[in-house]
Amino acid sequence: MTQITFIDHTGSATTVDAPDGWSLMQAATANGVDGIVGECGGSCACATCHCYLGEELLALLPAAGDNELGMLENVVAERRSGSRLACQVKVSPALAGAQIRLPECQE
Ligand code: FES
């Protein structure tokens, strides 16, 4: 289990214990975190799991693949340099204590 904190656009934070190997999207939706929808169930086909990662987190992760980059073209909220799709980011001990910011809207 790895502790991850999701922070919504109002600054409200929810910390969850996420099983390693799950995606950030699974960790958020399984714990009722508002702000991530995950409409396609994690198959990189809806862009409703958009989130913002800090530079320090991005440096720990594999770069986004072509599918993810393509879907990031379709996010509803502002796309930023730290934009990722939460279904494509796996929870691992390297993310312990990570703070994941969520956009104001997903759809
Ligand atoms: S859950 Fe659909 S793209 Fe991530």
Spell out the domain ranges in the chain. Answer: 2-101
Q: How far is the CA of 88 from the centre of ligand 1 (A)?
A: 8
- Number of neighbouring beta carbons within 10 Å of residue 9: 14
| Closest-lying ligand 1 atom to the alpha carbon of residue 88 | 4
CA dist 61 and 69 (Å) reads: 15
The pLDDT tens digits of the residues spanning 51-92 come to: 999 999 999 999 999 999 999 999 999 999 999 999 999 999
Alpha helices in the chain, H assignment, sequence order: 24-30, 55-58, 66-71
For residue 7, give the 3-state DSSP assignment: strand
User: Ligand 1 atom 3: the closest Cα is on which residue?
Assistant: 44
Of 10, 3, 2, 26, nearest to 102 (Cα)?
A: 10
pTM of the model: 0.95
| Closest-lying ligand 1 atom to the alpha carbon of residue 85 | 4
Q: What is the CATH number of domain 2-101?
A: 3.10.20.30
Q: How far is the CA of 12 from the centre of ligand 1 (A)?
A: 22
